[in-house]
Amino acid sequence: MNLFRSEEHARRWSQFNPASEEGFIALPDLADFFGTETRQHMLDANYLSVWYPRRAAERRAVLERIGKTSPFWLGTPAPA
């Protein structure tokens, strides 16, 4: 889960996984993905019990909105 100067730089990275072509995300989308409502409550006294459990559904909603609905992004098993 890294930041690169460009897609070309990521592809030239010595550890680039050839199966990760769909792993690119534009920076504004990334800021949305990691800027959901629960993230804005990380300093709240009840973050762990109240906000953290909502995180998974929220992440999925963002991924669906930005069109990243493959198992690679959603974390679901790939079709056999």
Question: Quick one: 43 or 67, whose CB is closer to other proteins?
Answer: 43
Q: How does DSSP classify residue 13?
A: S
Would you call 28 exposed, middle or buried from its count of C-beta atoms within 10 A (0-12, 13-18, 19+)?
A: exposed
Minimal distance, residue 54 CB to other proteins, in Å: 14
Is residue 22 within 8 Å of 70, Cβ to Cβ? yes
Binding site for other proteins (CB under 8 A): 1-7, 9-10, 12-13, 15-17, 20, 23-31, 33-35, 39-40, 42-49, 52, 70-78
Question: Quick one: 67 or 78, whose CB is closer to other proteins?
Answer: 78
Torsion sign over Cα 10, 19, 61, 65 = positive
Question: Quick one: 17 or 67, whose CB is closer to other proteins?
Answer: 17
